[in-house]
Structure 1
């Protein structure tokens, strides 16, 4: 388990990966929670003119994954996602900001369950509700 806010560490680690390419910035990554955001750009959009669902999933899934790493039990070496579920309730336009907050619902020895909500900060409306289950890994 990591102590304190590890946002800067996770921001640096994601450089050159999908969360970094999408411009996701982290406000907080700590035991039991994570908060981040991105400003919608053309790269976040689908060909139909709406924000791509995968851009939202990249945000909320990254928040839950980073929070999971910050919340691993003693002796764990990592995690793998075993289930995700997303309900899309809205969208955002280019120039608007989408933020998310992820929270740990269950932190067991073998699994973690996380909830996250993505919000369009410009309109205040919920973009997506997300839940995932992580399997905690241990060295062999």
Structure 2
């Protein structure tokens, strides 16, 4: 499968890879590179920046909204997003995301994205609303 995230310049820059895409589930991954980390402040290994976590989840949820667009729609845009940060994701590891719909309607869809490390550690939970344009 060609990486759908390559169609979105910022997602491509972030290194987001969509590995599965359906109306009910969007799955992706992203390597925690130095360019998307905090400085570490001399207290150990740098970890993923909160903005990178939010971007990753936003891209996955946006593709979920896109996968569910009603006929004749022009796209989606995020109208609301809430992130709970739960654990660090150290530089050099890969984060994995799974976005699933809480509700899909004609005018909006609400997605929950769980971001984890390979060992299952929950890094963040993001809930976002995608408005149909």
Give the TM-score normalised by structure 1. 0.85
Q: Which one of the candidate residues 79, 96, 108 is aligned to 2:105?
A: 108
Q: For residues 40-119 of structure 1, what are the structure 2 equivalents within 5 Å?
A: 40-48=32-40, 49-119=46-116
Within the alignment, does 1:133 sit opposite 2:121 as a pair? Answer: no
Which residue is 2:120 aligned to? 124
RMSD: 1.4
Match of 1:95, SS state, is coil
Matched, 1:28 2:38: no
* Contact kept in structure 2, 1:104 and 1:115, CA below 8 Å: yes
Q: Distance in 2 between matches of 1:9 and 1:50?
A: 25
Deviations 1:28-65 (A, max 9, x none): 12212210001111012012333200111111110000
CA displacement at 1:77 relative to structure 2? 1.4
Conserved 8 A contact 2:78-2:130: yes
CA contact (8 A) 1:91 1:120 kept: no
| TM-score, normalised with respect to structure 2 | 0.89
Moved over 2 A (4+): 47-50
* Mean Cα deviation higher: 78-87 or 26-35: 26-35
Show structure 1 runs of 5+ residues with no match: 1-6
> For the residues of structure 2 that align with 1:84 and 1:109, how far apart are their CA atoms?
19
Secondary structure class of the residue paired with 1:50: coil
Deviation for aligned residue 1:94? 1.5
In structure 2, do the counterparts of structure 1 residues 50 and 94 end up closer, same or farther at CA, with 3 Å as the change threshold?
Answer: closer
* Unaligned residue ranges in structure 2 (runs of 5+): 41-45
Match of 2:4 among 5, 10, 16: 10
